[in-house]
Structure 1
Amino acid sequence: MQFQLTDDFINQIEILIAKKDGNALRELLNEFHFADIAELLEELKSDEATYLIKLLETDLTSEALMELDEEVREKILDRMSPKEIANELEEMDTDDAADIIAELDENIQKEVIDKIKDEDHAADIVELLNYDEDTAGALMAKELVKVKETWTIAGCVREMRRQAKNVTRVHSIYVVDKEGKLKGRLSLKDLLTVSGKAHISDIYIPKVDYVTVNTDNEDVARIMQKYDLEAIPVVDENGVLVGRITIDDIVDFIKEEAEKDYQMAAGISQDVEADDSVLKLTRARLPWLMIGMMGGLGAASIISGFEAIFLTYPNLLLFVPLIQATAGNVGVQSSAIVVQGLANDTIKGNIIRRLLKESLLALINGLCIALVVLLISHFAFHTTYLESISICIALISVIILAALIGTFVPIILDKNGIDPAVATGPFITTSNDVFGILTYFLIAKLILGF
């Protein structure tokens, strides 16, 4: 049965914590899944959550810590000693432990590492901290199962049993040479069906997908998605096997990137949460709102430059919101598709061909929308024939222009190493509002001759 966190259960835990009834809490919670423990910890006060972390078994709490929201985890770690933090890190895979260490203040990072009893584990954590944050080296874990190509099957099985004790999940068995360079991988079926006297070199599969420690995280995600991999080995500049990246790490990375892109598309310039302070939320939102304001003022100045038109053709003013809204919507649609394609690495080929395709699509959409607007404007708003024609031609032009901007801008940003997600949302909406209004009045002036 799925765990349900209720108010009554939370109250029960809070009462037991207040009584310092450790035995009852251990009996109640030690059989829970670490994700359920994490859900409970996020509902408790920081001191109560810290009490539970110190009370329960570290193999449970170490996993729960990694499931917590970063701010909640930070408050708990602030209440723990370097020794207590080190105890938790000893139960974690090296990649998770490195993430925790990176969140700590620099003045206690070394102290925590010095408290880790397993020197090899500590050394592996320090190694991961030295890689650039957005590379495979920082994302990988050191825990894996590897065997040498010269071993016999019987010796291989013995060594695998020894190594597997330190690996949470054995996704793959990697084959290396005497220098530790990646040679291939082992099929579990082949391993179980051949003679124990055979050698690994006789049965291993030489073809194996891998990445280097300097491979960008987004490229790692694309490779694992393309080839449907549960894990991928990581090698250094010399081809030596140094770690592996598992699917859960990539899912976490993709989730973080999706959240960041979603916020950026909504005009939020920093990574924020709903529970963040008003000041932090203001700093994240205000820059794009200011850009939107400048765009609005720009559109207003354009309208003021055509003030004389409203005396002769007042009906044109009624369709300004339609022009702005349509331009913004078309631009956002086009940019969203392009940004998604760039993220999935599915946009290839000539930019001109992409722009021509988007222009044709925009023309078809523009003609359909213009036909509806033509009928409504003439019969509902009683516009003249020339006014209706002006509005419809301007609308088609604005839709094509907005589609081109929404397609061209993210591609150019991506080619210059800028996150194309910045091209969606307020940026595209604001720019298309300004260009849309300008196009609208220029076409009206050309047709109506004012």
Structure 2
Amino acid sequence: MTPTTTHELRAELRRLLSEGQDSAVVDLLEGLHSADVAEIAQELEIPEVLAMLQLLPAERWTDILVYFDDELQSEILENFTGKEIAEVVLENIDSDDAADLMADLSEEKKREVLQNIEDVEYAKDLADLLTHAEGTAGALMATEMVQVNENWTVSRCVREMRRQAEEVEVVHAVYVVDDHDILLGSLSLKKLLTTGARTPIADVYDRSVRSVTSTTDEVEVARIMKKYDLFVVPVVDDMGRLLGRITIDDIVDVIQDEADSNYQLMSGLSDEVEAGDGLFEMTRARLPWLMVGLVGGILTSTVVGRNEGELALLPQLAFFMPLIGAMGGNVGVQSSAIVVQGLANSNMPGTLWSRLSRELGVGLLNGLLCALAILAYSWAVGHGLLFAVAVGVSLLSVIIFASLFGTAVPWALNHYGIDPALATGPFITTTNDILGLSIYFAIANALLG
């Protein structure tokens, strides 16, 4: 039976490698996309991965290497000398992928790799890419691209494009520059094919081109490409000189990483973790917000302790404490999640005050409906009308407060350059537990004496 699932393929690959059936390994992997091979091999031991890669042509296994996670890439490259990395690995991949692979190497090995690259211009481009700060457009871009001069004719442009295309695996766009490499626009292949051979490029290129600078944050690059529906965007320096380009496949990784980071922050994880991380990494990521929750629990118990007299006189107050805390936390998380999502997508219309006014209306309506429901329930089970009113008013107040608090906090964090995703999850729920119960006891004490 032919293996089809990732698990079956991995088991079969492991068996063939252990039995030394080299040709069968090649046949098994033939026809599979490099990303699929990387997924299959991701869980293998390093010696098994190396044995598999050595059976494949250099162009094939270097393409697979790009799809491995950073940790596995580093472990594999540790088994190669700088000369081998320069001559075999970097020879077969784009400059942006090459820079990503080299980023995790030691400084000594980076120098060794660069010294062994025969193409001096490529080595210079790669060294320049490594100087860009992580998380910027410069660190994402590739330098392989097709560019033409505005002073050329269409016929010369076609000749130059053919020459440049030999060094570029996929031609995403044709950029037009001046004599100083200043980006002027882009050239449509349709216009190139339908225009006379002697026509100057200056007469046919499109001047409305979107670009980003090398220092632009990668999240902002993703926002621009999404907003303008771009599959490639040119990168320029502060003078407007063309440096490289970023393609949509690089941005998909950025979007995924940003979504994972926000989700983990909202879940109360201080560091990025994966299911396969070790005990120490998992503990370090979870413990900080657990300690915040612990401190919040202590403060909540302090609030309860200070109202021990009211609880002694009216023990039924304790029945609704979990409800007050849970509703405040849920409403706060809902409000903050909407704001965080809007800020992440740059789709947050109006001012903070207009947003708070809107949330006040939403909180008031939701609070009234929930308060009427709990008032009816409390009165129906025999707690008395005044007590039921106290619980209902408390719930209404907590929901309104949580709506406003959950909206204001992420907005304020974003204003001061702090990731607003911190405002969701444990922070909001813990804070609303403390303040919600304080509001509950204050209203109960005022109405019930």
TM-score bracket for this pair, using the shorter chain length: over 0.9
Structure 2: gaps spanning 5 or more residues = none
Q: How does 1:215-226 map to 2 (within 5 A)?
A: 215-226=216-227
Q: Deviations over 1:290-349 (max 9, x none)?
A: 100111110110111111112222111100000000011011111111011111111143
Question: Is 1:162 the equivalent of 2:170?
Answer: no
Q: How does 1:55-94 map to 2 (within 5 A)?
A: 55-86=55-86, 87-94=88-95
Q: Deviations over 1:94-149 (max 9, x none)?
A: 11111111112233221122233332222211111111112111111111111111
Deviation at 1:27, TM superposition (A): 4.3
Deviation at 1:216, TM superposition (A): 1.4
Question: Is 1:435 the equivalent of 2:435?
Answer: yes
Per mean C-alpha deviation after superposition, the further-off stretch among 105-114 and 200-209 is 105-114
In structure 1, what is the equivalent of residue 373 of structure 2? 372
2:308 match: secondary structure:
coil
In structure 1, what is the equivalent of residue 144 of structure 2? 143
Partners of 1:257 and 1:150 lie apart in 2 by 42
Q: Relative to structure 1, is the Cα distance of residues 113 and 81 closer, same or farther in structure 2, using a 3 angstrom cutoff? A: same
Partners of 1:263 and 1:120 lie apart in 2 by 41
Structure 1: gaps spanning 5 or more residues = none
Determine if contact 1:30/1:60 at 8 Å carries over to the other structure. Answer: no
In structure 2, what is the equivalent of residue 207 of structure 1? 208
Determine if contact 2:73/2:101 at 8 Å carries over to the other structure. Answer: no
Partners of 1:42 and 1:146 lie apart in 2 by 38
Partners of 1:11 and 1:3 lie apart in 2 by 9
Q: Relative to structure 1, is the Cα distance of residues 3 and 108 closer, same or farther in structure 2, using a 3 angstrom cutoff? A: farther
Determine if contact 2:212/2:233 at 8 Å carries over to the other structure. Answer: yes
| Stretches of 4+ aligned residues off by more than 6 angstroms | none
In structure 1, what is the equivalent of residue 350 of structure 2? 349
Deviation at 1:402, TM superposition (A): 0.8
Per mean C-alpha deviation after superposition, the further-off stretch among 15-24 and 391-400 is 15-24
RMSD: 1.7
Per the normalisation by structure 2, the TM-score is 0.96
Partners of 1:11 and 1:255 lie apart in 2 by 29
Determine if contact 1:90/1:118 at 8 Å carries over to the other structure. Answer: no
Determine if contact 2:6/2:40 at 8 Å carries over to the other structure. Answer: no
Partners of 1:31 and 1:83 lie apart in 2 by 30
2:274 match: secondary structure:
coil
- Count of aligned residue pairs for this structure pair: 447
Question: Is 1:247 the equivalent of 2:244?
Answer: no
Deviation at 1:3, TM superposition (A): 9.0
In structure 2, what is the equivalent of residue 102 of structure 1? 103
Determine if contact 2:7/2:40 at 8 Å carries over to the other structure. Answer: no
Partners of 1:27 and 1:120 lie apart in 2 by 38
Determine if contact 1:42/1:68 at 8 Å carries over to the other structure. Answer: yes
Determine if contact 1:267/1:425 at 8 Å carries over to the other structure. Answer: yes
Partners of 2:438 and 2:67 lie apart in 1 by 51
Question: Is 1:130 the equivalent of 2:131?
Answer: yes
Determine if contact 1:30/1:56 at 8 Å carries over to the other structure. Answer: no
Determine if contact 1:47/1:79 at 8 Å carries over to the other structure. Answer: no
Partners of 2:84 and 2:18 lie apart in 1 by 21
Partners of 1:183 and 1:324 lie apart in 2 by 59
Q: Deviations over 1:17-74 (max 9, x none)?
A: 3354444433443443211221221132111101222331222222211211222223
In structure 1, what is the equivalent of residue 257 of structure 2? 256
Q: Relative to structure 1, is the Cα distance of residues 57 and 5 closer, same or farther in structure 2, using a 3 angstrom cutoff? A: farther
Question: Is 1:39 the equivalent of 2:39?
Answer: yes
Per mean C-alpha deviation after superposition, the further-off stretch among 274-283 and 305-314 is 305-314
1:308 match: secondary structure:
helix
Partner letter of residue 409 of structure 2? Answer: V
In structure 1, what is the equivalent of residue 267 of structure 2? 266
Q: Relative to structure 1, is the Cα distance of residues 3 and 419 closer, same or farther in structure 2, using a 3 angstrom cutoff? A: farther
Per mean C-alpha deviation after superposition, the further-off stretch among 345-354 and 422-431 is 345-354
Partner letter of residue 55 of structure 1? Answer: L
Per mean C-alpha deviation after superposition, the further-off stretch among 393-402 and 40-49 is 40-49
Deviation at 1:259, TM superposition (A): 0.4
Q: Relative to structure 1, is the Cα distance of residues 420 and 7 closer, same or farther in structure 2, using a 3 angstrom cutoff? A: closer
Partner letter of residue 347 of structure 1? Answer: M
Per the normalisation by structure 1, the TM-score is 0.95
In structure 1, what is the equivalent of residue 304 of structure 2? 303
Determine if contact 1:47/1:76 at 8 Å carries over to the other structure. Answer: no
Partner letter of residue 444 of structure 1? Answer: A
Determine if contact 2:273/2:282 at 8 Å carries over to the other structure. Answer: yes
Per mean C-alpha deviation after superposition, the further-off stretch among 414-423 and 162-171 is 162-171
Question: Is 1:172 the equivalent of 2:205?
Answer: no
Determine if contact 2:37/2:64 at 8 Å carries over to the other structure. Answer: yes
Determine if contact 1:34/1:64 at 8 Å carries over to the other structure. Answer: yes
Partners of 1:286 and 1:328 lie apart in 2 by 21
1:427 match: secondary structure:
helix
Determine if contact 1:74/1:103 at 8 Å carries over to the other structure. Answer: yes
Determine if contact 2:356/2:408 at 8 Å carries over to the other structure. Answer: yes
Determine if contact 2:13/2:28 at 8 Å carries over to the other structure. Answer: no
Partners of 1:22 and 1:89 lie apart in 2 by 25
Determine if contact 2:3/2:12 at 8 Å carries over to the other structure. Answer: no
Partners of 1:287 and 1:5 lie apart in 2 by 39
Q: How does 1:330-345 map to 2 (within 5 A)?
A: 330-345=331-346
